[in-house]
């Protein structure tokens, strides 16, 4: 079977002698497959929810609804533990890690496991989104197709990005948003050789999604009011508000998930998170699932209508009571989201971010109208704040602007979207350098950025350049023993290694040249007398940037490489810089 498949791959490659044409074809295939996966995931979540709430548990509402999310997380944990046997949470972070440290390799099972696991989590009420799992699914499809065709790292990464763009495009029916998500969040470089495949995948996915779902996408709303210049100051203030709200969302998410990781027992962790989540949903039904139904309620609630019952389970007839409940909803969504993921569920933060943004925008505009007697259009501020929170949390202002613009089927809010998203992004970035996806990778120095120099340093596998053909000498040996090794060696460096492979020093040929032709000294001088201490050591686990910095700091041309203290070989400046230059050339070529 594998032989037949390999023959088919080779045959397809012969049909497309021009590799760029092959990439265009594969980007179309990736877009098609990712769009089908997005449609499958949305339907799986929808019908899982219907099956359980209207089938198995029909009529069992009230307090029993607390158990819905816990049961979904329980099924997810079972799937991950006994079927997938791998961690697939935080899908976007896993994609970033694959690009940074795994040469864009994503395991095959990610093409389906995220769909299955997130359907259980979200379908039963987990307060997370489907976007990160479907991005991981699309990226996995692109990565594996690229590897099947034996493409190099650059093109595998490009197809991975095509899958991610197609996933966002398919789930939101927003092709421009999908492309910008790949460029800003996954930090894929925009070049002439990459833009066309991204366009092909993204447009293909949007078309397929429209074919299968029509207007039945996550959000669909048409802006009715145009931007008024008199509202400009309030959009500026909204940007600041969204920036700090986004900062709160990021900080609290990271802190709560860190607390859950301290619970060593997976079942206790699941039970704790599930109970907390169920209790939050019981008191605030709007926290159930992705929350897009609640967002649509807010968008449809112009004219002073207070959408209390659908959001809180009770009617908030008084404005101040409603405001307090809205503030609680704004603060607690992040707790519900972090509890879902911390307990073992599988889902992303895009939907919670958009939900929180919608609540923030409606809260801000309704409170401003009430306090100052204004008539700000709540739906416009709701949509604009969604973009603001997105920009603040994901550090992706362009994606935020065009995603919301495409969702609204027009660009009437383009100016306020730009203003609010930019201010929110700058505000959040001033206090939090990295996005919620990048924080952990950045802390370990494994984050790929648009800085080609740093990207190459992260990806550089310098261990392949370690030279292991140097002949070693024992520190207890004498000059005669050293001369024998010199006669057999073609190198001018001789590592001094004891019986336990511990490097004690090095002997340089230049240091013994004047003594090696005096036989009378062979028994009088020991190797220990001749050796010197290297200016620095490099551990085999060091990153490429640390190795380059070691050469710059010491000015040495060769440095010894150790593996937990044991001698491995030597690395030369010339070889590592040659490898660096070759990798940089691959990054830079069109």
Query: Which has more confidence, 585 or 216?
Result: 585
pLDDT for residue 306 is more than 70: no
CA gyration radius for the chain?
29
Predicted local confidence at residue 43, as pLDDT: 84
Tokens 């990781």: give the residue.
Answer: 261
Considering the chain, what is the average pLDDT of its residues?
83
* Least confident span in 128-137, 210-219, 335-344, 510-519: 210-219
Q: Where are the domains of the chain?
A: 2-213, 229-450, 455-588
Tokens 């039904």: give the residue.
Answer: 285
Largest CA distance in the chain: 105
| Dihedral sign from CA coordinates of 164, 167, 171, 174 | positive
Q: Which residues contact 91 (CB under 8 A, 6 or more apart)?
A: 114, 132, 133, 134, 135, 136, 137, 346, 348
Coil, helix or strand at residue 493? strand
Residue 1's pLDDT band (boundaries 50, 70, 90)? Answer: very low
* Least confident span in 196-205, 313-322, 335-344, 505-514: 313-322
* pLDDT digits 0-9 by tens, 253-281: 999 999 998 998 989 999 999 999 988 98
Contact status, residue 137 vs residue 37, Cβ threshold 8 Å: yes
Q: Which residues contact 116 (CB under 8 A, 6 or more apart)?
A: 44, 79, 83
Residue closest to 376 by CA, chosen among 416, 407, 418? 416
Per CATH, 2-213 and 229-450 having the same topology is answered: yes
Coil, helix or strand at residue 347? coil
pLDDT for residue 450 is more than 60: no
pLDDT for residue 581 is more than 80: no
Predicted local confidence at residue 56, as pLDDT: 47
* Least confident span in 251-260, 415-424, 441-450: 441-450
pTM for the full model?
0.80
CA-to-CA distance for 494 and 490, rounded, in angstroms?
Answer: 11
CA-to-CA distance for 222 and 379, rounded, in angstroms?
Answer: 10
Q: Which residues contact 525 (CB under 8 A, 6 or more apart)?
A: 478, 479, 515
Q: Distance from first CA to last CA of the chain, Å, rounded?
A: 35
CA-to-CA distance for 362 and 258, rounded, in angstroms?
Answer: 31
* pLDDT digits 0-9 by tens, 213-262: 766 555 666 676 777 888 899 999 999 999 999 999 999 999 999 999 89
Contact status, residue 314 vs residue 308, Cβ threshold 8 Å: yes
Q: Which residues contact 251 (CB under 8 A, 6 or more apart)?
A: 432
Q: Which residues contact 202 (CB under 8 A, 6 or more apart)?
A: 31, 162, 165, 166, 169, 175, 176, 178, 179
Using CB atoms within 10 Å of the CB of residue 194, give its burial: 0 to 12 exposed, 13 to 18 middle, 19+ buried. Answer: buried
CA-to-CA distance for 270 and 89, rounded, in angstroms?
Answer: 14
- In DSSP terms, 538 is beta-bridged to 561
Predicted local confidence at residue 425, as pLDDT: 96
Give 129's Cβ-side CA count (13 Å radius).
26
Contact status, residue 169 vs residue 27, Cβ threshold 8 Å: no
Predicted local confidence at residue 458, as pLDDT: 65
Predicted local confidence at residue 470, as pLDDT: 87
Average pLDDT, stretch 516-531? 84
Q: Which helix (H) or strand (E) holds 430?
A: helix 414-431
pLDDT-above-70 percentage for the chain: 84
CA-to-CA distance for 76 and 267, rounded, in angstroms?
Answer: 12
Task: Please tell me which of 416-420, 482-486, 547-551 the model is most confident about, judged by mean pLDDT.
Answer: 416-420
The domain 229-450: what is its CATH number? 1.10.3080.10
Give the number of other Cβ atoms within 10 Å of residue 55's Cβ: 9
CA-to-CA distance for 97 and 309, rounded, in angstroms?
Answer: 42
Q: Which CATH class is domain 2-213?
A: mainly alpha
Please write down the long-range contacts of 578-586, taking CB distance under 8 Å and 24 or more positions apart.
Answer: 579/460, 579/461, 579/462, 579/464, 579/465, 580/456, 580/457, 580/460, 580/544, 580/548, 583/456, 583/459, 583/460, 584/452, 584/453, 584/456, 586/152, 586/153, 586/154
Topology of the domain comprising 455-588: CBS-domain (3.10.580)
CA-to-CA distance for 291 and 353, rounded, in angstroms?
Answer: 10
* pLDDT digits 0-9 by tens, 76-91: 999 988 888 887 877 7
The percent helix, strand, coil of the chain (3-state, each to 5) is 65, 5, 25
- In DSSP terms, 436 is beta-bridged to none
* pLDDT digits 0-9 by tens, 365-386: 989 988 888 888 888 899 999 9
* Least confident span in 100-104, 116-120, 301-305: 301-305
Using CB atoms within 10 Å of the CB of residue 333, give its burial: 0 to 12 exposed, 13 to 18 middle, 19+ buried. Answer: buried
Q: Which helix (H) or strand (E) holds 362?
A: helix 350-372
* pLDDT digits 0-9 by tens, 25-67: 999 999 999 999 988 888 888 787 777 666 544 444 556 667 8
CA-to-CA distance for 453 and 468, rounded, in angstroms?
Answer: 28
Average pLDDT, stretch 428-453? 71
Q: Which residues contact 585 (CB under 8 A, 6 or more apart)?
A: none
CA-to-CA distance for 445 and 318, rounded, in angstroms?
Answer: 51
């Amino acid at each position: 079977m594998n032989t037949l498949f390999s023959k088919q791959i080779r045959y397809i490659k012969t049909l497309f002698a021009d590799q760029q044409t092959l990439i265009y074809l594969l980007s179309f295939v990736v877009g098609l497959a990712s769009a089908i996966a997005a449609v499958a995931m949305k339907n799986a979540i929808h019908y899982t929810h219907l099956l359980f709430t209207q089938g198995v548990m029909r009529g069992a509402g009230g307090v029993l609804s607390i158990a819905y999310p816990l049961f979904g997380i329980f099924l997810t944990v079972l799937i991950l533990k006994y079927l997938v046997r791998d961690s697939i949470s935080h899908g976007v972070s896993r994609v970033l890690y694959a690009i940074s440290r795994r040469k864009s390799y994503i395991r095959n099972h990610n093409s389906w496991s995220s769909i299955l696991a997130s359907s259980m989590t979200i379908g039963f009420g987990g307060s997370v989104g489907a976007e990160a799992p479907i991005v991981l699914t699309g990226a996995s499809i692109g990565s594996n197709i690229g590897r099947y065709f034996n493409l190099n790292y650059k093109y595998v990464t490009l197809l991975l990005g095509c899958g991610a763009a197609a996933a966002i495009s398919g789930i939101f029916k927003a092709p421009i948003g999908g492309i910008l998500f790949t460029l800003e969040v996954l930090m894929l470089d925009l070049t002439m050789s990459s833009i066309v495949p991204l366009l092909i995948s993204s447009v293909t996915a949007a078309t397929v999604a429209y074919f299968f779902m029509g207007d039945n996408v996550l959000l669909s709303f048409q802006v009715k009011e145009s931007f008024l210049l008199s509202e400009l100051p309030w959009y500026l203030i909204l940007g600041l508000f969204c920036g700090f709200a986004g900062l709160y969302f990021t900080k609290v998410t990271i802190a709560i998930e860190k607390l859950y990781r301290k619970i060593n027992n997976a079942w206790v962790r699941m039970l704790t998170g599930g109970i907390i989540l169920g209790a939050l949903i019981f008191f605030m039904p709007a926290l159930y699932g992705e929350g897009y139904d609640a967002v649509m309620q807010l968008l449809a609630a112009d004219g002073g209508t207070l959408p209390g019952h659908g959001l809180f389970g009770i009617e908030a007839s008084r404005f101040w009571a409603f405001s307090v409940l809205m503030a609680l909803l704004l603060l607690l969504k992040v707790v519900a989201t972090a509890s879902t993921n911390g307990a073992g569920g599988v889902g992303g933060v895009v939907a919670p971010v958009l939900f929180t943004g919608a609540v923030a925008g409606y809260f801000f505009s309704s409170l401003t109208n009430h306090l100052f007697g204004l008539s700000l259009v709540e739906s416009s501020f709701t949509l604009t704040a969604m973009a603001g929170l997105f920009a603040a949390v994901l550090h992706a202002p362009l994606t935020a602007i065009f995603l919301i613009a495409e969702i609204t089927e027009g660009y009437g809010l383009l100016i306020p979207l730009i203003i609010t998203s930019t201010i929110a992004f700058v505000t959040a970035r001033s206090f939090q350098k990295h996005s919620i996806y990048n924080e952990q990778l950045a802390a370990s120095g494994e984050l790929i950025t648009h800085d080609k120099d740093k990207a190459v340093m992260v990806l550089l596998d310098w261990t392949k350049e370690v030279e292991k053909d140097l002949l070693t000498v024992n520190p207890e040996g004498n000059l005669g023993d050293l001369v024998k090794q010199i006669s057999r060696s073609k190198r001018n460096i001789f590592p001094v290694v004891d019986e336990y492979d511990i490097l004690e020093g090095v002997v340089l040929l230049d240091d013994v040249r004047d003594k090696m032709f005096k036989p009378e000294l062979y028994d009088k001088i020991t190797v220990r007398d001749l050796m010197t201490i290297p200016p620095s050591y490099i551990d085999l686990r060091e990153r490429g940037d640390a190795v380059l910095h070691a050469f710059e700091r010491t000015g040495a041309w060769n440095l010894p490489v150790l593996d937990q203290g044991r001698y491995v070989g030597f690395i030369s400046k010339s070889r590592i810089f040659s490898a660096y230059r070759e990798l940089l050339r691959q990054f830079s070529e069109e």
